[in-house]
């Protein structure tokens, strides 16, 4: 008989898609879902970069698959979801992790940078949610986890497009929850704090900003990709069945300051 933890948090028999999972936060969350028993589809723009992740996931003993797609192109997103659903005939978990950032003062922020960020971080997320939602609603079950940000709550500095997109992801999460929670599909979000990833490389390298950031984190350290493992497994599992429309901050205590 499965243990209580397996019954609540186990993902055996589930199929998960994690976008932007060739490295960083996405890779860590894909590995966490696989360790909980899910079969996992990884995604990125470069097919070659996904091979190592597929091999790593397969070594855990689950089925792994890679689908290359650009989340900034709606046609690509729709193809990604169609192929993900077709792989095993169903999709139980969608983690919308893919995202980009452009750092420029607002008065100098170009249309091209704004459009690029919004197309991936917001349009891509909505398009993926819509396609996965149709499938999950027809089945009467599913888990969608959007990756928000501390800038879902705060404005940030020199990242107007990113802040706008992540604020919108928070509202989209709530809006979809309002429509879908009563039909078996839970939509929640994780708001990571300041994590050591490529997206924060410029901040980590800036001695002034890095010191300012660290001084405000009660945990007294930057987050690591692995810090999201527990949160994503919880939100993807049956343990969170009565949680919907929630934005879970994994931030070392930042929001409490």
**Cβ-contact 176, 144 below 8 angstroms:** yes
Q: Which of 106, 220, 211, 225 is nearest to 156 (CA)?
A: 106
How far is CA 34 from each of CA 16, 37, 136, rounded to the nearest angstrom?
Answer: 9, 5, 20
Per domain, the residue ranges of the chain are 4-196+226-245
What does pTM read for this prediction?
A: 0.96
Active site residue 242: no
Question: Reduced to 3 DSSP states, what percent helix, strand and coil does the chain have, rounded to the nearest 5?
Answer: 55, 15, 30
pLDDT at residue 43 is higher than 80: yes
Compute the distance between CA of residue 141 and CA of residue 183 in angstroms, rounded to an integer. Answer: 7
Compute the distance between CA of residue 17 and CA of residue 162 in angstroms, rounded to an integer. Answer: 23
Compute the distance between CA of residue 216 and CA of residue 199 in angstroms, rounded to an integer. Answer: 19
- Higher per-residue pLDDT: 212 or 226: 226
For residue 202, the model assigns a pLDDT of 83
4-196+226-245 belongs to which CATH class?
Answer: alpha beta
Q: Residue 199's pLDDT band (boundaries 50, 70, 90)?
A: confident
**Cβ-contact 143, 184 below 8 angstroms:** no
Q: Residue 189's pLDDT band (boundaries 50, 70, 90)?
A: very high
The per-residue pLDDT for range 171-185, each reduced to its tens digit, is 999 999 999 999 999
Task: Give the bridge partners for 94, in sequence order.
Answer: 17, 144
Find the helix or strand (DSSP H, E) in which 15 lies: strand 15-18
What mean pLDDT, rounded, does the chain reach? 96
Q: Residue 156's pLDDT band (boundaries 50, 70, 90)?
A: very high
Counting DSSP H helices and E strands in the chain, the numbers are 10, 7
């Amino acid at each position: 008989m499965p243990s209580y933890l397996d019954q609540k948090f186990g993902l055996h028999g589930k199929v998960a898609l994690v976008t932007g999972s060739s490295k960083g936060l996405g890779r860590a969350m894909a590995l966490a879902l696989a360790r909980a028993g899910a079969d996992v589809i990884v995604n990125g723009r470069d097919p070659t970069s996904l091979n190592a992740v597929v091999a790593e996931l397969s070594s855990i003993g689950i089925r792994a698959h890679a689908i290359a797609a650009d989340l900034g192109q709606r046609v690509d997103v729709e193809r990604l979801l169609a192929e993900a659903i077709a792989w095993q005939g169903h999709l139980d978990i969608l983690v919308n992790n893919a995202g980009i950032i452009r750092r420029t003062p607002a008065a100098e922020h170009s249309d091209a940078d704004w459009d690029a960020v919004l197309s991936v971080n917001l349009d891509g997320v909505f398009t993926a949610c819509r396609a996965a939602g149709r499938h999950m609603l027809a089945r009467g079950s599913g888990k969608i986890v959007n990756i928000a940000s501390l800038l879902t709550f705060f404005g940030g500095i020199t990242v107007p497009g990113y802040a706008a997109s992540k604020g919108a992801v928070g509202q989209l999460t709530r809006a979809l929850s309002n429509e879908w929670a009563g039909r078996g599909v839970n939509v929640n979000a994780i708001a990571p704090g300041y994590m050591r990833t490529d997206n924060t490389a410029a901040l980590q390298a800036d001695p002034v900003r890095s010191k300012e950031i660290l001084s405000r984190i009660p945990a007294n350290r930057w987050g690591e990709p692995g810090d999201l493992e527990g949160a994503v497994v919880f939100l993807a599992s049956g343990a969170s069945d009565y949680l919907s429309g929630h934005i879970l901050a994994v931030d070392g205590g930042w929001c409490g300051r």
